[in-house]
Structure 1
């Protein structure tokens, strides 16, 4: 999936989220619109959540949350304002069907369902080679 607003510069993408190396789990912004973002991540060898060549569940969940953070960070970048820090407020549902391997690229689409007073409810779908491998519904909360 590529779009005219795709961003493949890892350093630029990292500057849009509050996390820093070695805790960065997004490296591409593939698509952005008013209520949706698609983020990408190629699982690197030096990732703290890789065990025996497999990206672990905790890393996949963190990748989902950082995909939401990337949405917020890019939204604020477009407004030329500093992005606030956010937190996972709740994970309503999560289903992990498959874990990606070292070197594989996942694409995660976050759909904003509702935003109100710093609380955002999102649907998240993670794909590997166009096959859904995980999904979640989360609430994120912006820090005051």
Structure 2
């Protein structure tokens, strides 16, 4: 089932600090103050595809960029420029299965806490409604 994207690839790319070929999110499906659902259709030429598999590093980068998209969109809604963010820490990430080229993955980001530019999030990544990865990250905004 193809879900309609709230924001398409070009707009999403403008809200992320990462640029091609390092962009690992190409759609935003939903957004609230405390959550976001992002998407990525994995292309064969993606820099994280090796031996017809989307590598763990690509999944983790997709998860992190989904968080960055939430922040970027928050600032966009206020007509402000989003500051650069960094992964402060990664708490256990569980990867159950690696997707392949032409798969479309989705990540649901849930903001657990936000304080002084530090955000704690929970992320669940799915492929065809099956959970393939999950974890928690802390992100930090550059001052």
Same fold (TM over 0.5): yes
- Give 2:104's aligned residue: 105
Normalised TM-score (structure 2): 0.96
- Give 1:24's aligned residue: 23
Q: Against the structure 1 CA distance between its residues 33 and 2, is the aligned structure 2 distance closer, same or farther, given a 3 Å change threshold?
A: farther
Deviation for aligned residue 1:34: 1.1
CA separation in 2, counterparts of 1:100 and 1:121? 26
Long gaps (5+) in structure 1: none
CA separation in 2, counterparts of 1:129 and 1:85? 31
Can you list the C-alpha shifts for 1:48-93, whole angstroms capped at 9, x where unaligned? 1000111000000000000000000111111110011000000011
CA separation in 1, counterparts of 2:37 and 2:125? 9
Deviation for aligned residue 1:2: 4.3
Normalised TM-score (structure 1): 0.96
1:78 matched to 2:77: yes
Long gaps (5+) in structure 2: none
Q: RMSD of aligned C-alpha atoms? A: 1.2
- Give 1:6's aligned residue: 6
